[in-house]
């Protein structure tokens, strides 16, 4: 059974790192746009066949920059958005620490089953919406490599699935801004994750 390549990318640095942005649609900083240029150059000659992205602009900017070099259209899915942070969405960090210290000071490493009030999600809930979409993308993908352009928590959950760790494994993977991860999956298997493996993770472009 021959494996196929799946690239999982995190977006570049956002334009405002002083707020809890979660699913807020923020753009990229100047440094973030430079990271996008580096990602696009990295994939310049690679045989991409499918590019799928979160519909938030900090992801679509990068996905479209890469797609433009390959003559591909970007497929977007709102199910691939970052974890919703509930009442913290859009709140400046210093303000949140003053008004809601018990929430703003909570460790990201302790979010597996905890969701912020006001519509927030846990990592397990995020995995429940993300992984079925990724699995469908892998089943339906055209010939060539598949590129998934997403967010920190989404990338971590996909990497954890690829190693059989389940959502709990998200804490094992760090993701820098503009990280590139390369995985191998087997589309003929009963599950895309049945014999998946990680070639490299958290690589700078």
pLDDT for residue 17: 92
CB-based contact 45:62 (threshold 8 Å)? no
pLDDT for residue 1: 53
Domains and CATH numbers, the chain: 4-203 (3.40.50.1240)
Report the distance separating Cα 122 and Cα 138, nearest Å: 24
Model confidence over 1-14: pLDDT tens digits? 578 999 999 999 99
pLDDT for residue 107: 95
pLDDT for residue 192: 81
* pLDDT less than 70: residues of the chain: 1
């Amino acid at each position: 059974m021959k494996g196929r390549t799946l690239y999982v990318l995190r977006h570049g640095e956002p334009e405002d790192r002083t707020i809890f942005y979660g699913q807020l649609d923020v753009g990229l900083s100047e440094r973030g746009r430079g990271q996008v240029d580096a990602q696009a150059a990295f994939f310049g000659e690679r045989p991409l066949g499918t590019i799928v992205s979160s519909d938030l602009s900090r992801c679509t900017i990068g996905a479209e920059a890469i797609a433009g070099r390959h003559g591909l259209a970007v497929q977007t899915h709102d199910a691939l958005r970052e974890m919703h942070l509930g009442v913290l969405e859009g709140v400046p960090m210093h303000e949140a620490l003053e008004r809601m210290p018990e929430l703003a000071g909570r460790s990201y490493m302790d979010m597996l089953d905890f969701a912020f009030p006001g519509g927030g999600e846990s990592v397990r809930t995020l995995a429940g919406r993300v992984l079925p979409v990724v699995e469908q993308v892998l089943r339906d993908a055209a010939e060539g490599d598949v590129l998934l352009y997403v967010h920190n928590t989404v990338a971590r959950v996909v990497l954890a699935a690829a190693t059989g760790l389940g959502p709990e494994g998200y804490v094992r993977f760090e993701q820098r801004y503009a990280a590139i991860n390369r995985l191998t999956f087997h589309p003929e298997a009963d599950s895309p994750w049945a014999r998946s493996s990680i070639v490299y993770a958290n690589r700078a472009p």
